[in-house]
Amino acid sequence: MEFQVESKDVLGRIGRLKTKSGVVETPHLFPVVNPLTQPIPPKEIYEKIGCKALMTNAYLVKKNFEEEAIRRGIHRFLDFEGVVATDSGAYQILTYGDVEVEASEIAIFQERINSDIAVILDIPTGLEATREYARWTVQETIRRADETLKLIKKRDVLWVGPVQGGIHLDLLAESAREMSERPFAVYALGSPTQIMEQYMFERLVDMILTAKMNLPLSKPLHLFGAGHPSMFALAVALGCDLFDSAAYALYARAGRYLTESGTLRLDELEHLPCTCPICARVSPSQLRETGRKLREKLLAEHNLYVCMEEMKRVRQAIFEGRLWELVELRAHCHPSLLQALKRVGSYSGFLEKHSPSTKRKGLFYFGYEGLARPEITRYKKRLFERYKPPTKANVLVLVPYQNDKPYHKSRPIRRILQEVSENRGVHVGVCAPPFGIVPIEIDDMFPVSQTEMPFPPDEKTFERTFESIVAYIAKSSYKSVTIHGRFEPHFEKLRDLCEKACKDGRKKFEVSYSGTEFWTDQALERLRRSLRSDEVSR
């Protein structure tokens, strides 16, 4: 059994998780099948909806159908040809406080029913847990993990090691490190359900990335209970590979209609904003007039189609290198998701370190939330760590951003370069949001010339751009800095910041031209006078 990654973007991965019953393509949502009340037969989930891997609750199966499940095996019991993952009953512990089974019993049972993927019986931390209780759940889950690993005999079952600790991030990190020392095929983040139910997605970002930073990156990460399509892109971008949820069925029971951007109520729908096989043949009024059981089944099918479609959309975004753009789009579905995306900025260094350095396509930069994306973080990092200005460059001339890229091919900047071409002491840099400063000799490198953005950008983008420029000036060996051209709409702020940085670094500073048409003969003459008056440039 192995996990092979075929494509990556941000921390999202298209991968192939091999099991004895087939391959699970990640990212993947396991629809949770309730053996007691299931609106869509598992066979239809496989043949009609096209989902080749699902999850069921081994505890409920054992409690209600133990002998039959052992005799027939879980695949025949469910009448499902694909991959079957089984949960252990931990959700029932979270909901009801306890289950009538020992960790050893449920582990042996999952082997006997021939599960493809099995979860140990962990102790969920939950949202309201005190620190003392959270620590106990971590320790008890580790104890149960060791107990289970000693008991298991079959080598063809992929065992899942849950990480506990909840919102107590230091305990969660400790749990992840301990679990990573155990030979699990898959790791899982436990206890997120209540957090997602209360739209605490900012906390979820902390939990996922804390776990991710302390687990082996070579193994898949499962996010328990995540079933709403609006948050798939964010969770995948943070490194989650597997999901499970019964939301498609639970929402259908409550008359709720899933979309990739939110949840609607059937009794309030005039039109069905979907073209899945269900929505293509019925109207909202027809659905409302249908008998309860059939209506629940049809809604559940629609909800599952939407979830599967969104997961495909996420995979395609990874393949194209457009996952971040999809995350931004979905983040605007709900304020809590947008707040969570802003929180991702706190982990920009980790995202940059483990995301691909090449892409199939360029970037779309929409606003300051995109400042955390790995490509922008990486450009700034490498500029400071690896780039050195030309050896004889004593004077930095800052010129404004141009829409034509690469910048050195735009007519205005070509004129500037012609003007200073004979003066080897002069170095030209472009003030380019969101990257900061772009030395002209590397302006065609990725992602500078491959980024599209609205102009002018937002206030925070300007702010971070200026911070980067000032930091570059502070660490540089230039003896003089000249701004040539008006960098709208915050020219005065840039001028003041650069002047202060030069003063602190004992560098000469001046503005040779403060208009917008910095390539005109008049403007170029001012630049010539400025450079002639600068002794260090001779």
User: Does the annotation count 87 as an active-site position?
Assistant: yes
Q: Which two tokens stand for residue 447?
A: 């992602």
How many other CB atoms sit within 10 Å of the CB of residue 80?
24
Task: Specify the DSSP class assigned to residue 257.
Answer: E
Distance of alpha carbon 335 from alpha carbon 341, whole angstroms: 10
Q: Any bridge partners for residue 368, and if so which?
A: none
DSSP string, 181-225: TS--SEEEE-S-HHHHHTT-HHHHHHHHHHHHHHS-TTS-EEETT
> Closest Cα to residue 29, out of 302, 259, 314?
314
Tokens 């004129």 belong to which residue? 415
Cα 222 from chain centre: 14
Q: Alpha-carbon distance 290 to 211, whole Å?
A: 45
Distance from C-alpha of 337 to C-alpha of 210, rounded to nearest angstrom: 18
| Count of other CB atoms within 10 angstroms of residue 96 | 9
Q: How far apart are CA 449 and CA 442, in angstroms?
A: 10
Strand segments (E) across 151-276: 158-163, 186-189, 221-223, 242-245, 256-259, 262-265
What b/e readout covers 254-276, taking b as 16+ CB neighbours within 10 angstroms? ebbbbbbbeebebeebeebebeb
Categorise residue 478: left if φ over 0, alpha if ψ from -120 to 50, beta otherwise: beta
Q: Residue 280 phi/psi, 5° resolution?
A: -75, -20
- For tokens 């052992």, the residue is 70
Q: Give the per-residue SS3 of 348-389.
A: HHHHHHHCCCCCCCCEECCCHHHHHCHHHHHHHHHHHHHCCC
CB 407 within 8 A of CB 432: yes
Burial of 111 (0-12, 13-18, 19+ CB in 10 A): middle
Judge whether 167 and 143 are in contact, CB under 8 Å.
no
- Residue among 9, 87, 241, 534 flagged as catalytic: 87
Contact 138, 126 (CB under 8 A): no
CB 474 within 8 A of CB 505: yes
At 136, the amino acid letter reads W
Count the neighbouring beta carbons within 10 Å of the beta carbon of residue 95.
Answer: 12
Residue length of the chain: 538
Helix (H) or strand (E) holding 395: strand 395-400
Tokens at residue 538, please? Answer: 């001779």
CA distance 44 to 26: 21
List active site positions.
87
